[in-house]
Amino acid sequence: MANSAEHDFLSDSALRIMESASGSRLFGYTEGQRKLFDFSCDLKRDWSKVVAGQTLWQHGGDGIDKDLRTFLNEEDIHAAVYIARHESKHRARFTEVTQSYLKGPYRDRLSRLRVFWVPPDFDASNDKHRESIYDVLKNEITKDLLLHVALGGLTPQDVTRFASSKRPGLPIAILSHVKKHGYRNHKHTAKELNAPLDALRYESERLFIIGFLGSESLQGGLYHLTDSGNAMLDICSRLRDYLGGNLGDRNENKEFEHISRLLGIRYPSIPSTARLIGKNAEVDIQDPTALLLQHVAQATADGSVEWPEPYFALPSASEISASK
């Protein structure tokens, strides 16, 4: 049976949203081949994570068991997106099936599921419906999928705690150093960063508590960069581009702005020319965004950070073949 217009629109929208979000330059995007799933793609940073999805629209819920079994059987999937018509029988069947998997060998894989319910009266031939549903999916997929999969579960609270450090620039310098060199001990790292030992120890422990640094020990030490810490470093690098007037055309990047806003970072509210460091700095200490930009400006001035380059989508296999 041919797919409905609603089914095709929802599947294509999921891919368009993820591809568009890669314009933030925080991760790369490559569309995957559609074999078992209605849509799939590969999100890339210094790792590669596969996102696959199914759309449930026409059939009466009988395929939910098969869809979820396919999701959970595939080992290489990092996130499984299910876009479904919001009907009581669908929700009831979905709950019944997921509950049955809680008792089986795949219960740990249930965490990869991301479900987005669409109103049952959605009509793909209606322009207003299409626009409204696309906007809703964009916000939900960005918050519940991209922030978790591509940005390591970064939250607005993480960003606020990071920005609240009273030592401008040092937290960013620590993340950058750990990413490139690791973290042997406090004394060695303080010497490498030319930072006071007590300040270095305190900031490193803060980053560990926030979750930007990880360690095999519950007490910390021998730190490594976590996915969320890596994402925070990437965001700071794009904010550095903003302060330098290099974020994009007319120093704008709407996709990065959208993701930043979901994280509580409203950088366009602060002119890129604002005085953020030095004498007579213009920084509202009650504004997490202003404090974060101050960190970025100070780290830039100190020259202590190796800023990550933007991530771009890699060419697909078909594009590579076509270019030969």
**pLDDT of the residue at 318:** 41
Q: What is the largest CA-CA distance in the chain?
A: 70
C-alpha dihedral over 301, 302, 306, 307, to 10 degrees?
-30
User: Phi/psi zone of residue 54: left (φ > 0), alpha (ψ -120 to 50 degrees), beta?
Assistant: beta
**pLDDT of the residue at 319:** 44
pLDDT in tens, 239-290: 999 999 999 899 999 999 999 999 999 999 999 999 999 888 888 989 999 9
| Residue 172 token pair | 């960013």
For residues 182 and 222, what is the distance between their CA atoms, to the nearest angstrom? 8
For residues 252 and 248, what is the distance between their CA atoms, to the nearest angstrom? 5
**pLDDT of the residue at 221:** 66
For residues 39 and 14, what is the distance between their CA atoms, to the nearest angstrom? 8
**pLDDT of the residue at 316:** 41
User: Per residue of the chain (324 residues), what is the pLDDT tens digit?
Assistant: 568 999 999 999 999 999 999 999 999 999 987 778 999 999 998 888 999 999 988 765 667 888 888 888 888 889 999 999 998 888 888 888 888 888 777 778 888 889 999 999 999 999 999 999 999 999 999 998 899 888 999 999 999 999 999 999 999 999 999 999 988 889 999 999 999 999 999 999 999 999 999 988 766 668 999 999 999 999 999 999 999 999 989 999 999 999 999 999 999 999 999 999 988 888 898 999 999 999 999 999 999 899 998 987 544 434 434 444
CA distances from 196 to 174, 213, 283, 300, 303 (A): 13, 19, 24, 19, 17
**pLDDT of the residue at 314:** 44
Tell me, letter by letter, the H, E, C secondary structure of 260-304.
Answer: HHHCCCCHHHCCCCCCCCCCCCCCCCCCHHHHHHHHHHHHHHHCC
C-alpha dihedral over 73, 79, 83, 89, to 10 degrees?
50
